[in-house]
Amino acid sequence: MKHVLQAMMTTEAPSEFNHLETLPTAELLAGMNQLDQTVPQTVAKALPQIEQLVEATVARLREGGRLFYIGAGTSGRLGVVDASECPPTFGVPAEMVVGIMAGGDGAIRVAVEGAEDDAEQAWKDLQAHNIGPKDVLVGIAASGRTPYVIGGLQRARAAGLATGCVVCNAGSAVAAAAQFPVEVVTGPEFITGSTRLKAGSAQKMALNMLTTATFIRLGYVRGNKMVDMKLSNVKLVDRGERMLMDELGIVQAKAAALLKQHGSVRAALEAIQP
């Protein structure tokens, strides 16, 4: 069984490139770029699976649920990044999308050895958030065999949560533990086994799709604009003003006054176009 599992793990297969230490910079970059171009094609094959996960997530969040990510290493960090970007982008509460990292928040910067091997810890970490049946749990694991993620998904599924995953090998234990698995099979990496490369890019794309499509479906985008984004810096205030100028056909001074008066692009638009 061990040999069968290893054969299935194409992310661990030998790189198509060799003697990398002898190559000039231009060839290294060209090789990585060559492989990177296969990632969107691979993600495209998983779109039906991503769609199912989005639909399940939309349904739970409409009922007042939340979206949780769990993962280790690069996979866990990607979940934390995606979760942290949802509040400023869509204006949602910070607790609506939560990224949990094996080893705790400190592991975002410094690897915590062995944290991913504890199959019980993810569920313990989730308990701190009073997780319940209305919530969604998505496990992120390039290998598809991370015990922290497998254990968390199994416990969550048994407790009635909707469960999904994003993995980069076919037929994995993580996918088997999830109701809505997303399998983006990226194949061998430029450096053998370095899943921060193609696999990480594919996972980032899948997570982008999951939260972006979910919050569009939930009404947090108007037209093609982030009307609920938090106006937390000069760049975003400027973007908000330009949204109002484009939508209402007004000059910047008027847009700035409306934005200051109403506090958000959506509120300003709804005041003028109820």
Edge-to-edge strand list for the sheet holding 97-101 = 97-101, 67-71, 136-141, 162-167, 180-183
Catalytic option among 12, 51, 55, 85: 85
Residues 212 and 196: their CA atoms lie apart, in Å, by 22
Token pair, residue 263, equals 């506090």
Catalytic residue status for 51: no
Per the CB < 8 A criterion, the answer to whether 102 and 148 are in contact is yes
Q: Of the candidates 69, 63, 45, 171, which has an alpha carbon nearest to the alpha carbon of residue 122? A: 69
Per the CB < 8 A criterion, the answer to whether 165 and 138 are in contact is yes
Catalytic option among 116, 183, 241, 247: 116
Catalytic residue status for 95: no
Q: How do strand 136-141 and strand 97-101 relate by DSSP bridges? A: unpaired
**Catalytic residue list:** 85, 116
